[in-house]
Amino acid sequence: MYQYQCLNAVSEAGLSLFPESYQRTQSMEEADVLLVRSASLHETVFPDNVKAVARAGAGVNNIPLKTCAEKGIVVFNTPGANANGVKELVIAGLLLASRDIIGGIEWVKAHAGEEQIAGAAEKEKKRFAGQEIEGKKLGVIGLGAIGALVANAALHLGMEVYGYDPYLSVDSAWNLSRHIHHVRDLEEICRECDYITLHVPVVDDTKGMIHRETLSQMKDGVILLNFARDLLVKEEDLLEALTTGHVRSYVTDFPTKKLSGKERVIVIPHLGASTDESEENCARMAVRQLQDYLENGNIVNSVNYPNCNMGKKGKNPRLTVLHYNVPNMIGQFTMLLAKRGVNIADLTNKSRGRYAYTMIDMDETAFPELEKELLRIENVLKVRLIL
Ligand SMILES: NC(=O)c1ccc[n+]([C@@H]2O[C@H](COP(=O)([O-])OP(=O)(O)OC[C@H]3O[C@@H](n4cnc5c(N)ncnc54)[C@H](O)[C@@H]3O)[C@@H](O)[C@H]2O)c1
Ligand SMILES: O=C(O)CC[C@@H](O)C(=O)O
């Protein structure tokens, strides 16, 4: 029997995929795996029983990836599972920033019930007029799951699209329309585009990537959209650019104290992935990945360990070892098994930077103490014997 803990509301469409032998727990001390959305785990002290964390979503900046890796906790995310939900809200953001739709709706609310409202609206409406997005230039920074969908959709809406992503994967490149201008430096996006939208993860390299200098390279009256993470933008610098009118409007999915309620800032309460479809897709993917890891030892879509897949476990035991990526680890594992007369039916080893993972299908039933003996080998982080 396995136990899981949900640290945020995770869709039942996913949780119901766990078989009956899985139990939900409220205690981390009992949980084999954790499911999380945006709750921060940076202060969490993970007990030894926790084997994996699944982020039902894309961004993993709320999870201490290195701390988890050092404890032999595999962290998963659900790439692409909420990308359409976010794309649709970004398109809404483009339109909300182009005309004062929100101001117009508020005006109607304030005059609700008035006899002459129709006539008054005709007089007032010029205050809320704006521009069309067709024919305008959109710069997309980050062309992964969300950026690619946004870029393609904007093309369909008649925008001219510029895309920037120096680390674009081959799979993501296949998703992009050939009509998107491939931009090789950020400055070109800033110089050319009327609208700029951010779709990169928050990592050391991207934190504060939109600052005074990048903002100054942007066109006067640029509209900036941020549905990725607040920390990508230096707020003080942005506020200054909004005050001078250099940035015409900022649309963000991340309420912060400094920006919420400010003129020409449209703040949405982190609703990008809040659709039935996205929540269900993320939860299903997270649950499937956790179950596959617990029952078969397979790692699919991890963000701190290498992906490694030996298919469904057969009737014989499968040994899995999370360890540092240093020489002679496999030699020590196979030697230990050989000494005990255990034959290896299949073995896979994969590495990712500092960390590695070895899966071994054994011909014989495991001997007592096997896990303990393996754990005593230097540079081994976690051992699991799946019976
Ligand atoms: N608002 C929401 O609810 C919501 C939902 C999902 C994701 N997000 C955020 O959006 C981010 C992107 O999500 P995704 O699903 O598209 O992720 P993804 O991993 O599919 O795409 C990210 C892309 O950014 C690129 N990239 C990385 N560093 C870059 C840089 N310095 N310059 C340009 N490109 C760079 C990568 O190469 C990759 O193609 C997530 O990390 C998350 O923070 C927000
Ligand atoms: O869970 C959510 O609602 C938001 C998820 C989003 O921020 C993500 O990074 O996938």
Instruction: State the pTM of this model.
Output: 0.96
Query: Do strands 33-36 and 22-24 pair parallel, antiparallel, or not at all (unpaired)?
Result: unpaired
197 near 175, Cβ under 8 Å?
no
The pLDDT confidence band at residue 358, using thresholds 50, 70 and 90, is: very high
Is the minimum distance from the CB of 53 to ligand 2 under 6 angstroms? no
State the pLDDT confidence band at 272, using cuts at 50, 70 and 90. very high
Instruction: Say if residue 30 is exposed, middle or buried (CB neighbours under 10 Å; 0-12, 13-18, 19+).
Output: middle
Gap from CA of 37 to ligand 2 centroid (Å): 6
pLDDT attached to residue 300? 98
User: What count of other Cβ atoms lies within 10 Å of the Cβ of residue 261?
Assistant: 9
Q: Which helix (H) or strand (E) covers residue 240, if one does? A: helix 235-244
Top CATH class of 306-387 equals alpha beta
Give the CB-side neighbour count of residue 119, counting CA atoms within 13 A. 3
Reported as a pLDDT band with limits 50, 70 and 90, residue 68 is very high
Residue 57 Cα to ligand 2 midpoint, Å, equals 5
Collapsing DSSP to helix, strand or coil, 172 comes out as helix
What amino acid is encoded at 324 in this protein?
Y
Name the DSSP class of 252.
E
Give me ligand 2 centre to Cα 167, in Å.
22
**pLDDT at residue number 365:** 72
Residue with CA nearest ligand 2 atom 1: 37
What is the distance between the alpha carbons of residues 159 and 161, in angstroms, rounded to a whole number? 6
CA-wise closest residue to 370 among 356, 355, 386: 386
CB 139 within 8 A of CB 197: yes
Complex-level ipTM: 0.99
Residue whose CB lies within 8 A of the most ligand 2 atoms, among 38, 198, 271, for a mutation test: 38
Instruction: Domain ranges for the chain, please list them.
Output: 1-82+276-305, 83-98+131-267, 306-387
Shortest CA distance to 358 belongs to which of 344, 348, 372, 346? Answer: 348
Hey, which CATH number is domain 1-82+276-305, 3.50.50.60, 3.40.50.1820, 3.40.50.2000, 3.40.50.720?
Answer: 3.40.50.720
Q: How far is the CA of 58 from the centre of ligand 2 (A)?
A: 6
Q: Homologous superfamily of 83-98+131-267 in CATH?
A: NAD(P)-binding Rossmann-like Domain (3.40.50.720)
Whole-number Cα distances in Å, 177 to 9, 87, 145, 247, 349 = 36, 15, 13, 28, 37
* Whole-number Å distance between alpha carbons of 76 and 53: 6
Helix/strand/coil for 84: helix
Query: Considering only CA atoms, which residue is closest to atom 32 of ligand 1?
Result: 165
> Is residue 142 within 8 Å of residue 163, measured between CB atoms?
no
Ligand 2 mutation pick, 10, 35, 36, 37, max ligand atoms within 8 A of CB: 37
The CA distances from residue 197 to 83, 145, 213, in Å, are 14, 14, 17
- Per-residue pLDDT band for 5 (boundaries 50, 70, 90) equals very high
**Residue with CA closest to ligand 2 atom 3:** 273
Which residues does 237 contact at the CB level (< 8 Å), separation at least 6?
A: 210, 211, 212, 215
- CA of 28 relative to ligand 1 center, distance in Å: 29
Instruction: Take residue 282 and report the two structure tokens written for it.
Output: 């993320």
Measure 27 CA to ligand 2 centroid, in angstroms.
23
Residue pLDDT, tens place only, 170-219: 999 999 999 999 999 999 999 999 999 999 999 999 999 999 999 999 99
Contact assessment for residue 137 and residue 162, using Cβ atoms and an 8 Å cutoff: yes
Cα→Cα distances 74→71, 243, 278, 374, Å: 9, 45, 23, 19
**pLDDT at residue number 116:** 98
User: For residue 369, is it left (φ>0), alpha (ψ between -120 and 50) or beta?
Assistant: left
**Is 300 within 8 Å of 310 (Cβ atoms)?**
no
Please tell me if the domain spanning 83-98+131-267 has the same topology as the one spanning 306-387: no
% residues pLDDT > 90 (the chain): 97
